[in-house]
Amino acid sequence: MPIKTVFNTSIDYVSVLDEHGDFDEKLGKDLIPDDDVIRLYEHMVTCRHLDEIAFKLQRSGRMGTYPQNMGQEAASLGAAYAIRKTDWMVTCYRENTGLYWHGLPMEYILLHWMGDERGNQIPEDVRCTPLAIPIGTQMLHAVGFSWASKYRGEDDIAVTFFGDGASSEGDFHEAANFSANLDLPTVFICQNNKWAISVPTKIQCSAPTIAQRGLAYGMECVQVDGNDLFAMVKVVREAAERARKEHRPTFIEAVTYRLGDHTTADDARRYRNAEELEQWKLRDPLIRLRGYLESKKLWDQGKQEALDKRAESIVGEVIHRAESIADSDMNDIFDHMFAKAPDELLRQRETLRTSSIGQDPSQLGASTPSTAPSVS
């Protein structure tokens, strides 16, 4: 038998506005109206300011561990802009900019990192999930949403975000296999920021791209400049259309970089080259987008100063709402667990004990006085 090729493919790299300010007029034509580019830039600047203030809140003891989003804003924002409000955004913990654009109130993220579970009580009209801290679990949830949409005959899709390190988790492979084999409308966006905490991508993935991991499952795969807002809008919009019309998943590798530490509990100087960081600062998505606007005479220093002042005011109000929220009631953990609490849970609430003896001390014998309050 002669040898023959049974599979051959290629993966495109998409860039519209590069770090040098070069804009591909053909790819970028009519991609984002100028007015929307301005709105998106203003949103990114406001979110960057909130990110910087959140860092200071943690350092001053007013908030717990926090993962900065600095440097990765374009990836999630471009995706959020390209999809519908009825689509699901299923994220990990570095997609604040996109979540806010999709409708999540800004203070919810702060409440989450302040340890207040009300930050995870997403408003009913906002199609996003609480932040996923375990690595990779959210991808399986996204597949569940996309399967439900297909089952109901709807055309809503699920877009899930994860890091390059998470693509090595079993959860990713299960989610990808399930989504591709069942023809589900899922968009997988891997934010390859070069580091899985302190492990460089080249150590945890020997392939030349993360994108090709989707090939094994029969997905369309593409690599994109994740710091290019225009390119992100283009590839996500195409993936969303494929998901709606063909019920087929897409794997998008967004090449980006986190300019801060992994979290405020990390010190990236111990493992990351300072020169590498300086190179990526020049590719900052905010700098790139501002340069584009200035080249089109749509932005100037006066507008920037006004925006900075407005962003400071908006963030100040967000901080105030987060820190001035009324204290939660201890009974909330009981009252919001079930629609109708079972008797055992009611006894726990009234006695503040989980053991049967704590709930009913009379079990110790007739000589022991019963101190447990009764439950009517």
Active site residues: 258, 262, 271
288: nearest Cα among 104, 95, 78: 78
Judge contact between 198 and 164, C-beta under 8 A. no
Strand partners, 2: none
Distances (CA, A) of 299 to 35, 47, 87, 160, 295: 11, 19, 32, 33, 8
Residue type at position 309? K
Provide the token pair at 33: 């109206």
* Separation of alpha carbons 172 and 178, rounded Å: 10
Does residue 120 contact residue 112 with C-beta atoms inside 8 Å? yes
Nearest to 343 by CA among 334, 118, 205, 88: 334
* SS3 readout for the chain: CCCCCCCCCCCEEECCECCCCCECHHHHCCCCCHHHHHHHHHHHHHHHHHHHHHHHHHHCCCCCCCCCCCCCHHHHHHHHHHCCCCCEEECCCCCHHHHHHHCCCHHHHHHHHCCCHHHHCCCCCCCECCCCCCCCHHHHHHHHHHHHHHHCCCCCCEEEEEECHHHHCHHHHHHHHHHHHCCCCEEEEEEECCEECCEEHHHHCCCCCCHHHHHHHCCEEEEEECCCHHHHHHHHHHHHHHHHHHCCCEEEEEECCCCCCCCCCCCHHHCCCHHHHHHHHCCCHHHHHHHHHHHCCCCCHHHHHHHHHHHHHHHHHHHHHHHCCCCCCCCHHHHCCCCCCCHHHHHHHHHCCCCHHHHCHHHHCCCCCCCCCCCC
